[in-house]
Amino acid sequence: FADAANIIEAAQILNISQPLLSNHLKALEDDLGIELFEFVGRKKILTARGQELHALIKSQLGHLGTELRQTLVKQTQSQALKI
């Protein structure tokens, strides 16, 4: 949702309904015990805590992706050496 223009677009990207996405976001807020989104007028935006969490998750997923690529390269190289 943070990278989409709005919650409807985010739901379309995820290929789920907007109400389902809204329910999941509310459940996430409840589980974490923090408010991730707030309304500014009619627009729903990330709170400061939501922005912090978004940046952290994006960073961690980037690191995970790097680790996975490195592991796959090592596995491919070790398999290529076995003749």
Q: pTM for this structure? A: 0.70
Strand-pairing partners, residue 38, are: 45
Specify the pLDDT at position 44: 84
Specify the pLDDT at position 5: 81
Q: Find where tokens 């992706």 sit.
A: 65
**pLDDT tens-digit profile of 32-61?**
999 999 988 888 889 999 999 999 999 999
Distance CA 73, CA 36 (A): 37
For the chain, give the mean pLDDT: 89
Distance CA 33, CA 51 (A): 15
| CA-CA-CA-CA dihedral for 64, 9, 18, 32, to nearest 10 | 40
Distance CA 36, CA 48 (A): 8
pLDDT category, 2, cuts 50, 70, 90? Answer: low
